[in-house]
Amino acid sequence: MPKAIGETILLVENLQTELHTNMGVLRAVDGVSLSLRQGETLGIVGESGCGKSMTALSILGVVPKPAAHVVGGRVMFNGQDLRTLSEQQMRRIRGGSISMVLQDPQTSLNPVYTIGSQVTEAIALHRDVPRRSLMARAIEALRQVRVAAPEQRVKDYPHQMSGGMKQRVSGAIAISCDPQVLIADEPTTALDVTIQSQYLRLLREIQEKTGLSIIFITHDFGIIASMCDTVAVMYAGRVVESGPVRAVFDEPRHPYTRALLNSVPTMDRNVKRLYSIPGQPPALWDRPAGCWYRQRCPFAVPRCETLYPPAITAKGTGGSDHVANCWKLEDSTWITPKS
Partner 1 sequence: MNNPPPKDAPSETLIVPAQPHSLRRIWLKLRSYPLLSVFVLLVLLVIPALTADWLAPHDPTFGVIMDRRLPPVFFGGTWEYPLGTDRLGRDILSRIMYGARVSLSISLVGIFVGGFLGVSLGMLAGYFRGWTDIIIMRLVEISLALPAILLALVLAAANGPSFQTIIIVVAFVLWALYARQVRGEVLSIRERDYVARARVAGASHFRIMVRHILPNVANTIIVLATLQVGSVIILEAALSFLGLGIPRPTPAWGMMVADGRQLIVSAWWISFFPGLAITLTVFSLNLLGDWLRDRLDPKLEQV
| AA identity, residue 1 | M
* 26/16 Cα distance (integer angstroms): 11
Of 80, 37, 90, 78, the closest CA to residue 214 belongs to 37
- Within residues 156-215, the interface with partner 1 by CB under 8 A covers 159-160, 170, 173-174, 183
Cβ distance 110 to 117 under 8 Å? Answer: no
C-beta of 13 vs 121, nearer to partner 1: 121
C-beta of 91 vs 219, nearer to partner 1: 91
Print burial letters for 24-59: b (CB count within 10 Å at least 16), e (below 16): eebbbbbebbbbbbbbbbbbbbbbeebbbbbbbbbb
Return the range that interacts with partner 1 (CB under 8 A); candidates 73-81, 91-99, 237-245, 321-329. Answer: 91-99
For the CB of residue 66, give the shortest distance to partner 1 in the complex, in Å.
Answer: 4
For the CB of residue 35, give the shortest distance to partner 1 in the complex, in Å.
Answer: 21
For the CB of residue 160, give the shortest distance to partner 1 in the complex, in Å.
Answer: 7
Print burial letters for 206-222: b (CB count within 10 Å at least 16), e (below 16): bbeeeebbbbbbbbbbe
Mark 109-128 with x for binding to partner 1 (rule: CB under 8 A) and - for no binding: xxxxx-------xx--xx--
For the CB of residue 129, give the shortest distance to partner 1 in the complex, in Å.
Answer: 15
* Beta-strand relationship, 213-218 and 41-45: parallel
Number of residues that bind partner 1 (CB under 8 A): 33
C-beta of 217 vs 247, nearer to partner 1: 217
C-beta of 147 vs 183, nearer to partner 1: 183
For the CB of residue 64, give the shortest distance to partner 1 in the complex, in Å.
Answer: 8
C-beta of 182 vs 297, nearer to partner 1: 182
For the CB of residue 38, give the shortest distance to partner 1 in the complex, in Å.
Answer: 21
DSSP 191: S
C-beta of 160 vs 226, nearer to partner 1: 160
Among 3, 74, 83, 94, binds partner 1 (CB under 8 A): 94
Length of the chain: 339
Cβ distance 296 to 277 under 8 Å? Answer: yes
Among 103, 114, 144, 213, binds partner 1 (CB under 8 A): 103
C-beta of 147 vs 236, nearer to partner 1: 147
Of 179, 183, 186, the closest CA to residue 95 belongs to 179
Of 25, 39, 34, 37, the closest CA to residue 56 belongs to 34
For the CB of residue 149, give the shortest distance to partner 1 in the complex, in Å.
Answer: 19
The answer to whether 259 contacts partner 1 (rule: CB under 8 A) is no
| H helix runs in 111-269, sequence order | 115-126, 131-144, 150-153, 163-175, 193-210, 221-227, 245-250, 255-262
For the CB of residue 211, give the shortest distance to partner 1 in the complex, in Å.
Answer: 21
* 339/247 Cα distance (integer angstroms): 19
**DSSP helix/strand/coil, 255:** helix
Site of interaction with partner 1 (CB under 8 A): 60, 62, 65-66, 90-96, 99-100, 102-104, 107-113, 121-122, 125-126, 159-160, 170, 173-174, 183
